[in-house]
Structures are given as structure tokens and as C-alpha cells.
């Protein structure tokens, strides 16, 4: 293998590794934000339950809290207050 083809092989390999690194980094960031949002939402539900505001924990509420976190808890609280 001559020098030019070796250079281009290493160059394209480094570009591919860089793209994979950036993609993985952004996906991990999204994952950690979703996990933190979910934990914050669940803690808020249990804090509201501790203070006597009962919000039913069903599959739909858990999915909403897992995806949206605290905004879902706020929406559920508003729906609970308004009836």
C-alpha cells in the first residue's frame, strides 16, 4: 500500500470515528435528560401524594411523566384541580 492510499484510509477512518463519537455523545445527552426528567417527575408525584394531593398512577400517567417529566406533572395537577 502506498503512502497516499494509507493516508486517505486513516483520514476517512478518523472522520467516521468522529461522526460516531458525536452521534453517541448526543444520544447519551438525550438519554440522561430523559432519565433526569423522569426521576424529577416521579419525585414530584410522590411529594404531591405526601401532601395529600392524590394523582392516580396509571400506565398513561407514568408514560406521560416518563416522556415529559415535570410539565406532565403540572398538567396532571391542573387537570386534577379543574376536575
In this prediction, residue 1 has a pLDDT band, given cuts at 50, 70 and 90, of low
CA distance 62 to 72: 9
What percent of the chain has a predicted confidence (pLDDT) above 70? 99
Task: Give the pTM.
Answer: 0.67
| Other CB atoms within 10 A of residue 27 CB | 10
pLDDT tens readout for residues 28-39: 898 898 899 889
Q: Which three cell numbers stand for residue 81?
A: 384541580
* pLDDT at 13 exceeding the cut of 90: no
Give SS3 for 50: helix
The rounded radius of gyration (Å) of the Cα atoms in the chain is 23
Integer CA distances (angstroms), 25 to 16, 30, 31, in order: 14, 9, 10
What pLDDT score was predicted for residue 30?
Answer: 87
pLDDT tens readout for residues 35-82: 998 899 989 999 999 999 888 889 999 899 988 889 999 999 999 989
Amino acid at each position: 500500500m502506498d503512502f497516499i492510499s494509507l493516508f486517505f484510509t486513516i483520514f476517512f477512518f478518523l472522520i467516521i470515528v468522529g461522526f460516531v463519537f458525536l452521534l453517541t455523545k448526543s444520544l447519551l445527552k438525550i438519554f440522561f435528560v430523559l432519565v433526569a426528567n423522569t426521576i424529577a417527575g416521579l419525585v414530584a408525584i410522590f411529594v404531591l401524594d405526601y401532601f395529600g394531593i392524590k394523582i392516580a398512577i396509571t400506565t398513561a400517567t407514568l408514560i406521560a411523566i416518563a416522556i415529559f417529566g415535570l410539565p406532565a406533572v403540572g398538567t396532571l395537577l391542573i387537570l386534577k384541580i379543574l376536575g
